[in-house]
Amino acid sequence: MAWNDLDMELERGKRDFERRAEEVGREIQRRIERVEERCKKAEEVRRSEWEKLEGRVMTAEEKQERRSDEFLRLMTAVGQEHLRIIAALDDDMRRGFAEIRDENRPHTEALLKVLDRLPPD
C-alpha cells in the first residue's frame, strides 16, 4: 500500500466519522425534542384533568407548583433519555471496536509470525 493510499484511507475514515457524528447529533436532538413534546402534552392533560376535578381554574400559587412539578418531570425524562442514548452509543462503540479487532487480527497474526511470536488468544 502506498502512502497516498493510506492518506486517502485516513481522510475517508475521518469524513465518515464526522458524517456519523453529525447524524448521531441530529438523532439525539430529535429524541430529546420528542421527550420534551411528550412531557408538554402530558402536563396539559394533567392540568385539564385537575381543573375538571376541582371545578375551577388554578390559582397563581398552584400554577407555580405545577410548573415546578412539570420542570422536575421534564428533567427526569430528559435524563432518562440521555442515559438510553449513552447506552446505545456504548453498544455501538463496543460493536465497532469488536469489528475492527476482528479485521485487524489476521494482520496482527502475520506480523507476530514475522517477529517469531505466538499470536494472542
In a domain, 82, yes or no: yes
Is pTM beyond 0.85 here?
no
Quick one: what percent of the chain has pLDDT higher than 90?
26
Whether pLDDT at 3 is above 70: no
What is the structure's pLDDT at 60?
84
In a domain, 119, yes or no: no
Q: To 5 degrees, how large is the angle CA 87–CA 91–CA 97?
A: 140
How many domains in the chain? Answer: 1
What single DSSP character describes residue 1?
A: -
What is the structure's pLDDT at 118?
64
Query: What is the C-alpha separation between 92 and 98, in angstroms, rounded?
Result: 10
In a domain, 88, yes or no: yes
Say which residue the cell 439525539 belongs to.
28
**Domain with 107 in it:** 3-114
In a domain, 120, yes or no: no
Query: What is the C-alpha separation between 108 and 114, in angstroms, rounded?
Result: 10
Average pLDDT over residues 103-111: 86
Q: Is there a contact between 50 and 61 (Cβ–Cβ < 8 Å)?
A: no
pLDDT, tens digit (0-9, with 9 covering 90-100), for 25-77:
898 899 999 999 998 999 889 888 888 887 777 788 888 888 898 899 899 99
Average pLDDT value over all residues in the chain: 85
Query: What is the C-alpha separation between 97 and 104, in angstroms, rounded?
Result: 10
Whether pLDDT at 7 is above 60: yes
Alpha helices in the chain (DSSP H): 3-54, 60-114
